[in-house]
Amino acid sequence: MNEQTTLFLGPEENLTILKGIFSSRKTSPEDIAKSIGKNKGTVINAIHDLKILSLIDEKLHPREEAKNIVYDRNAKDVLRELFLSVKGNKEAVEEINTKEKIDPLESGKIFCFHTNARATKDSSIKQIGRLYLRWMKFLDLIKHEEEVKENGS
């Protein structure tokens, strides 16, 4: 597994590109980007994420879990399990859920600590926080969703 476990894209973008990889059967970022109408950089970021989530292998072939997600067989449950199995994510989610209120900067600091993200500037940490809050909301992992605040964004 790649030592860099920080995700780069949100769940929606990753799922769109996973479906594109699955349906196009292409094995290069350039060919995948062309076939699904995305730019190469976005596809490269998604490939990074999909490998971390164990949805594709090194040759960009979808794994069994990817098929379940693409065909919507318990997709959120499968994705939630894979997300929480990534080094640091479960601990970060648990810590965030102990807070009464959470903002993107604080959640970013928590995820950076638990996932060994390399961000140092507050703006980058806040961006990571926003991204991971999107993942948590998408996967129904936020216990106090109404208390997530976006102030200072």
Claim to verify: residue 68 and residue 45 sit in the same structural domain:
yes
Provide the pLDDT confidence category of residue 72 given band limits of 50, 70 and 90: confident
- How does the average pLDDT of the chain come out, rounded? 88
**pLDDT tens, position by position, 9-48:** 999 999 999 998 888 877 789 999 998 899 999 999 999 9
Q: Is residue 124 part of a domain?
A: yes
Q: Is residue 113 part of a domain?
A: yes
- For residue 28, the enclosing domain spans 11-73
Q: Is residue 125 part of a domain?
A: yes
- Are 130 and 144 in contact, with CB atoms under 8 Å apart? no
Q: Distance (Å, rounded) from C-alpha 126 to C-alpha 3?
A: 22
How many domains does the structure of the chain reveal? 2
Cα 116–Cα 117–Cα 119 angle in degrees, nearest 5: 135
CB atoms within 10 A of CB 22: 17
* pLDDT, greater one: 148 or 86: 86
**pLDDT tens, position by position, 109-127:** 999 999 888 888 999 999 9
Main-chain dihedrals φ then ψ at residue 53, nearest 5 degrees? -80, 5
Claim to verify: residue 68 and residue 91 sit in the same structural domain:
no
Q: Is residue 50 part of a domain?
A: yes
